[in-house]
Amino acid sequence: MTIKEKQQEVIEEFEMFEDWMQRYEYMIELGKSLPLIDEKYKTDDNLIKGCQSRVWVHAELEGDQLAFTADSDAIITKGIVAILIRVFSNQHPSEIIEADTSFIDEIGLKEHLSPTRANGLVSMIKQLKMYAIAYQTQLN
């Protein structure tokens, strides 16, 4: 599946919910299914700045595709990072670099999250793309 297709899948899932509670409950569920980062990668270098809760993301190249693992001490944050990883993981770095992220608006995340969180979300996307850029150089 391409990033675009995965994004569409997430959008359709979120469209099923009638209110914020269902949406958040689903995010919490997603948080629980997050591919967890190996404890040894929970370092300050992998910590994403700009979040009120702590979020770590690690990236690893598998063939020519990038796989992400992550964790957070807050469960809603975990849900958000899980959505991002579901969309961006197992893709070629160049796809990740070029990916459009407007699906965040479409699932009502950016609009409904507090400003500090919204910033955290922006930081998370930025971090995933930074990893992609770094590994893209390696592939070249």
Partner 1 sequence: MSQQIQNITFDVEKIRKDFPILKRKVNGYPLAYFDNAATSQTPIPVMDAIVDYYSNYNANIHRGVHALSQEATDKYEGARIKIQKHFNAEKAHEIIFTSGTTHGINLVANGFGKFLKKGDEIIVSALEHHSNIVPWQMLCERTGAVLKVIPMDLNGELVYSEFEKLVNEKTKVVFCNHVSNALGTVNPIEKIIKKAHSVGAAVLIDGAQAAPHIKADVQALDADFYVVSAHKMCGPTGVGILYGKEQWLQKLPPYQGGGEMIATVNFEKTTYAGLPHKFEAGTPNICGGIAFGAALDYMNQIGFDQIAEFEHELLLYATKKLKEIEGMKIYGEAAEKTAVISFNIEGLHPYDIGTLLDKMGIAVRTGHHCAQPVMDFFKIPGTVRASFAFYNTFEEIDRLVEGVKKAKMMLQ
Which parts of this chain interact with partner 1 (CB under 8 A)?
Answer: 20-21, 24-25, 28, 52-54, 73-77, 112-114, 117
Toward partner 1, which CB reaches closer, 69 or 77?
77
Cβ proximity to partner 1, 2 vs 52, nearer residue: 52
- CB–CB of 116/52 below 8 Å? yes
- Residue 25: name the closest of 36, 35, 13, 8 by CA: 13
Active-site residue, from 10, 27, 51, 80: 51
| 25 or 38: CB nearest partner 1 | 25
Length of the chain: 140
Minimum gap (Å) between residue 105 Cβ and partner 1 = 17
For the CB of residue 54, give the shortest distance to partner 1 in the complex, in Å: 8
Confirm whether 51 is a catalytic residue: yes
Per-residue CA distances from 137 to 7, 94, 96 (Å): 25, 10, 13
Residue indicated by tokens 């955290």? 120
| Least spacing, CB of residue 114 vs partner 1, in Å | 6
Instruction: Give the shortest CB-25-to-partner 1 separation in angstroms.
Output: 6
Cross-strand bridge partners of residue 67 = 60
Q: What angle do CA 87, 133, 123 make, to 5 degrees?
A: 60
Query: 38, 58 in Cβ contact below 8 A?
Result: yes
CB-nearer residue toward partner 1: 113 or 125:
113
Catalytic positions are 51
